[in-house]
Chain A
């Protein structure tokens, strides 16, 4: 979707100062939110983090929220939409609570969340033998598509001509697909675009932007 999260090339923002190295989670609520979003792996509400999170926040709100407040908003939305928690319960957290309808549910502990997930040797490249549609060096065009669902093809590359720089192997396609369309694994590439191709005369003649795109995002140059 053409959401506010798709920021590449947007003008008008003021760059912050780079902060010194040190703790990233600075406030207690930020630590709680971060711990919560990764521990909240309850059947029915643990959805793909980025895809679900970015596109469900209204654009004006998205741009106004600090980073961890976006996670908080999304966590609230998830548990409310799934019916596990009600607005009344969040407004009166010490009051009476309904019992969630998940028989025999045990919340996952540290060994499942950290050792088994966050720190695991999880590899996105799939061990699947599929022929690539493109080879390194091929000229390609990023398809000019504007799907209503989540897509990993940023607006600024659509319709632009690039060159296959690396083949990352076979990955799960991450775009949201229309109902009934089967998700198929496919090759993922690093595609090089020149600054001039992306930004016209404003693009630097020695600037290159490399974007990770899947087979279905690309078409061959005729």
Chain B
């Protein structure tokens, strides 16, 4: 129950009790609860951000507009949502690597990436990304050259950040659909770079 007893409580039982009482009292509509989960699991997800990224790789004008005003571009494509309409896109280049974090909570661009992965919400990531981003990236498997500038974006307000990863080599001539399939969730947070499968 809601006291200071730490972690060992039975989350399943507590959740069922809370939902049961609130539903029986008519304070919550179970259909709304289902719809929330459906929305976050099926309607939004990294495939949306991947589409924006892939198009930015093949269309220089689109890329320029995305980097200048991601919110306007997202709105044109009806990519909006509570706490993620105020979107800012930041691009990785050979000399700059971007990484997104929320040190105060777990703010994340839901409308383009869906719900955040567990590692993004973990205390370790939130604590360390701002003080030792290169060590964090190295532990994640990305060893950046010392000359690369690392830009960490701490999402302390309602603005949400989307990393545009570099286009992987060997992808000339691929369609936007093929390129979209290469873009990973973690690359759009800045936790990894992209390689064509089999390379790396």
A interface with B by C-beta (< 8 Å):
5-11, 13-19, 21, 23-25, 27-29, 31-36, 38-40, 42, 50, 54, 58, 60-61, 63-69, 72-73, 75-77, 79-80, 84-85, 87, 89-91, 93-94, 97, 99-100, 102, 105, 107-110, 112-114, 117-125, 152-154, 156, 166, 168, 171, 174, 188, 190, 198-199, 202-204, 206-214
A11 B127 Cβ-Cβ under 8 A: yes
Whole-angstrom CA separation of A61 from B86 in the bound complex: 32
Contact among B37, B131, B185 with A35 in the assembled complex (CB-CB below 8 Å): B37
| Number of chain B residues whose Cβ lies closer than 8 Å to a Cβ of chain A | 90
Interface positions of B from 73 to 88, Cβ below 8 Å from A: 75, 80-83, 85-86, 88
Contact among A50, A97, A107 with B21 in the assembled complex (CB-CB below 8 Å): A97
B186 A40 Cβ-Cβ under 8 A: no
Q: Is B104 an interface residue (CB 8 A)?
A: yes
Among B37, B71, B119, chain A packs the most CB atoms within 10 A around the CB of B37
B16 A15 Cβ-Cβ under 8 A: no
Asked, given contacts A8-B130, A152-B156, A212-B155, whether A109 binds B29 with beta carbons under 8 Å apart, the answer is: yes
Q: Is B20 an interface residue (CB 8 A)?
A: yes
B116 A203 Cβ-Cβ under 8 A: no
Interface positions of B from 95 to 128, Cβ below 8 Å from A: 103-107, 114-119, 121-128
A121 B80 Cβ-Cβ under 8 A: yes
Q: Which residues from chain B contact A89 at a C-beta distance below 8 Å? A: 21
A112 B32 Cβ-Cβ under 8 A: yes
Contact among A18, A33, A63, A110 with B123 in the assembled complex (CB-CB below 8 Å): A63
B116 A24 Cβ-Cβ under 8 A: yes
Q: Is B149 an interface residue (CB 8 A)?
A: yes
B interface with A by C-beta (< 8 Å):
1-2, 4, 6-7, 11-12, 14-22, 24-29, 31-41, 43, 46, 71, 75, 80-83, 85-86, 88, 103-107, 114-119, 121-128, 130-134, 136, 139-140, 146-159, 184-186, 191-192
- In the complex, the 8 A-B pairs of residues with the closest C-beta atoms, listed nearest first: A35-B33, A13-B124, A110-B35, A8-B103, A124-B158, A212-B157, A10-B127, A24-B115
Whole-angstrom CA separation of A11 from B132 in the bound complex: 10
B25 A153 Cβ-Cβ under 8 A: no
Residue of chain B at shortest CB distance from A211: B154
Among B35, B71, B118, chain A packs the most CB atoms within 10 A around the CB of B35
B33 A210 Cβ-Cβ under 8 A: no
Residue of chain A at shortest CB distance from B101: A8
Q: A7-B123, A18-B191, A114-B35 are in contact. List 16 more A-B contacts (CB 8 A).
A: A7-B127, A18-B117, A19-B118, A29-B12, A36-B18, A50-B107, A73-B2, A80-B2, A84-B22, A91-B1, A93-B18, A166-B88, A202-B132, A207-B134, A212-B159, A213-B156
